[in-house]
Amino acid sequence: MLRMEHNNFIVNPIGKGRILFYPYINYLSNIITATPSRRSSSTISIRQSCSKESVQELRSSDLVALEYANLKLKHHTIQEMGVGHVRIRQHVNPLSSAFQVPAQVPDWGETFCDSSLPLMVDIGCGSGRFLIWHAKGSPETKNFMGLEIRQKLVNRAQLWVKELDLNNICFLYANATVSFEQLVSNYPGPLGFVSILCPDPHFKKRHHKRRVVQTSLVNSILKNLSPGGQIYLHSDVLEVALDMRSQFDAHLDILQHIDTVDPSVFCDEHGWLLKNPMGIRTEREIHAELEGATMYRRMYQKRDS
């Protein structure tokens, strides 16, 4: 039995995991009733897996599984990932001495089938599903590299890459603030895209130095990004989104916001993108929208000169 609270969402007594806000229910209903030509492969899997009535019974983890159903990723135990019985931590301190060792630069010829292709780097890639989805959809036109500071997630993502037999993607255990410059500057092809999606917020002021978007990383991205290359940022925490935005907005002599380049892209009155431009949502994005949070999105393109 569902009960109404605050006039804007439904609460299931079973627990927080089943809070569903009306806008999200409407979003899923629109997906389910959309015409085939307007549905992506991920939304088609939602249509095949649930009806309107069952939408209200879905947990956020169920929605993640549905969004990425076409990847058909296998579940792996901690033992299979080769990391013992320790749980995967949600947050870590990137300033710890354990994370100051630069990642080894891969042999790009062995890592990718064609190392001359444009490279997309996802900083703080988490589980890797988001990047794997893109890699599977662009097998011959782009390469993809995920940087993640939690070894266990990297191990599992690498298992998925092997199982899917993808040769245009790799995951590296790396602290991006320490390793990004060395990695991308040694890549043979152009750096075409960088994403930083829902980075750890580190709310306390004394911990802001732990945030991934620091001056050194911003400068490295700008230096290595090829002309016409893009940067995509988003967060469900306004303070974090504003912090990232301010650091990249400080370089509008080099960058321009995507809506000034592509007239089909629309922003709200505050300059945030109205829609996700990536074709699929990250896991954190799915969780946040399920809980009624707002996603703050910003995309830049490097000027040609």
Specify the pLDDT at position 45.
43
Q: What are phi and psi of 281, to 5 degrees?
A: -95, 150
Q: Sorting pLDDT into bands at 50, 70 and 90, what band is 12? A: very low
- Determine what percent of the chain is predicted with pLDDT higher than 70: 75
The answer on pLDDT for 270 being more than 70 is yes
Beta bridge partners of 301: 230, 256
Domains in the chain: ranges and CATH: 114-302 (3.40.50.150)
**What would the pLDDT profile of 29-67 be if each residue is shown by its tens digit?**
444 344 434 444 444 444 444 544 444 467 888 999 999
Which residue intervals of 123-274 are DSSP H helices?
A: 129-137, 151-164, 176-185, 215-224, 238-249
The pTM of the full predicted model, rounded to 2 decimals, is 0.79
**What would the pLDDT profile of 103-121 be if each residue is shown by its tens digit?**
999 999 999 999 999 999 9
**Of 200, 243, 259, 262, which is the active-site residue?**
200
**What would the pLDDT profile of 202-251 be if each residue is shown by its tens digit?**
878 887 887 899 999 999 999 999 999 999 999 999 999 999 999 999 99
The label of the residue with tokens 């988490």 reads 126
CA distance 271 to 80: 44
**Is there a catalytic annotation at residue 200?**
yes
Specify the pLDDT at position 55.
47
CA distance 281 to 293: 14
